[in-house]
Amino acid sequence: MFSCILIAFYCNKSINEIKRSKFNLHSTAISCIIFLNMILIAATKLFEELLETIEQLEQDNREAIIDPVPYLKTANHFMNALQSLVLTGSFDDQQEEILFFKTVKPKFRSLQIYYLTLQDITFKKPKGCKKILKKFYTDEIQKICSFRCYNQNLVNYYYSGA
């Protein structure tokens, strides 16, 4: 199934299209594997492992208030693993390098930024009554909305796939 998802991602086809294809998975993989580099494959597997680890942390801490520290440590660990993967390997061509830094690395970095921001908010959270906490969280939400509005052009560019 993982190879099917990977092939669908890099061939711009849905998983169901790959499965229903008249061609078998192997021939589809051969036609698409030209675009795949070992770094991209390893990074994709590493990201899947990161998501599984985060999911396991969520299962273990289902009842508790989220402590972002273990999540951030996990994200940092996988980001370091990705960095060492890139430093030890090499890209076949410039297009693969662009694909990696445009699509794969931002997935890792976005989780790192998310948990870092969550940790920052958690550490800044004031002690006090519900009214004070409500004002604090309302202000934080307003900051996030302002940031999103300010960077809307970048968001549009990202989702356009350009």
What distances in angstroms separate CA 55 from CA 41, 78, 137, one per listed residue? Answer: 21, 14, 25
Q: What is the mean pLDDT of residues 47-63?
A: 88
Q: What do you get for the CA distance between the two ends of the chain, in Å?
A: 28
- Threshold 0.95, pTM exceeds: no
Length of the chain: 162
* Contact yes or no for 16/67 (Cβ under 8 A): no
Instruction: Read off the pLDDT of residues 59-82 as tens digits, 9 standing for 90 and up.
Output: 887 766 678 899 999 999 999 999
